[in-house]
Amino acid sequence: MDYGEALELQRELAASRQQGGVADQLLLVEHPHTITMGRNGRMENLLASDAALESAGISFYPINRGGDVTYHGPGQLVGYPILDLREWKRDVGAYVRGIEQTIIDTLADYGISAGRIAGLTGVWVNERKIAAIGVHIGRWVTSHGFALNVSTDLSYFRYIVPCGLTKPVTSMAQLGVQAGVVETGRALAAHFGRVFGCEMDCEMASETPIPAASEREN
């Protein structure tokens, strides 16, 4: 699903969630090559010029949230939970830890032992980052979310790594696990439901994107 389309869908769902119009949602999608830049990101962190990005077929989205520059692309499972945290816990730290736990549990299903690094949000395997997290909250309703590298072509991350100074990235494929994005998404949705205490009601959209609505257990 195109990044801009997904962003629009998230906005609509988050607005509707704030009004109580819809239940909590978990959107699971796969994007074409995309680089997003948060409002606090600096252009100097983007190594390639616009022209270079264009010739590599990468869309560029400056977006209205804080944080770093991020890459999304094929082979990456991207999740956008639209949750009202007032109905779970009013704790953004616990929310982020919950997302991390969901991904750690999912990876464990595939025999990958992943964990956290204190102070560095995300999910890590041997000091390599396998999943990135970036969240926006408005009126306690979450948007944006996480990106788990299933079989991502990691060379694309080079476009956003200055001087090779960051910790390296990895993917499930690089760790020897051959899994599809859709399949991984299903496994993840189950763990998400458990961690956040909701019943998952999966609904398969056309082609690759896999939105899953969730309903909270009361």
Q: Give residues in contact with other proteins (CB under 8 A).
A: 38-49, 52, 65-69, 89-96, 121-122, 133-139, 155, 158-159, 161-166
What's the rounded Cα separation, in Å, for the pair 121 and 160? 18
Instruction: Please pick, among 163, 164, 178, 218, the residue that the annotation labels catalytic.
Output: 163
Give the nearest distance from C-beta 65 to other proteins in angstroms.
5
- Minimum distance between the CB of residue 39 and other proteins, rounded to whole angstroms? 7
Q: In what order do the strands lie in the sheet with 69-72?
A: 59-62, 34-37, 69-72
The two tokens of residue 191 are 């763990």
Residue 206: CB minimum distance to other proteins, A: 31
* 198 has catalytic annotation: no
- Contacts of residue 208, defined as CB under 8 A and 6 or more positions apart, other chains included, come to 1, 29, 30, 181, 182
Of the chain, the end-to-end C-alpha distance in Å amounts to 32
Helix 92-109 with 181-196: angle, nearest 10 deg:
130
Shortest distance (Å) from residue 70 CB to other proteins? 11
Closest CA to 154 of 130, 136, 184: 130
Indicate the residue among 98 and 193 with the shorter CB distance to other proteins. Answer: 98
Q: What are the two backbone dihedrals, phi and then psi, of residue 86, each rounded to the nearest 5 degrees?
A: -65, -25
- Of 38 and 75, the one with the shorter C-beta distance to other proteins is 38
Cβ-based nearer residue to other proteins, 82 or 179: 82
Rank residues 42 and 199 by Cβ distance to other proteins and give the closer one: 42
Hey, which residues are catalytic here? 163
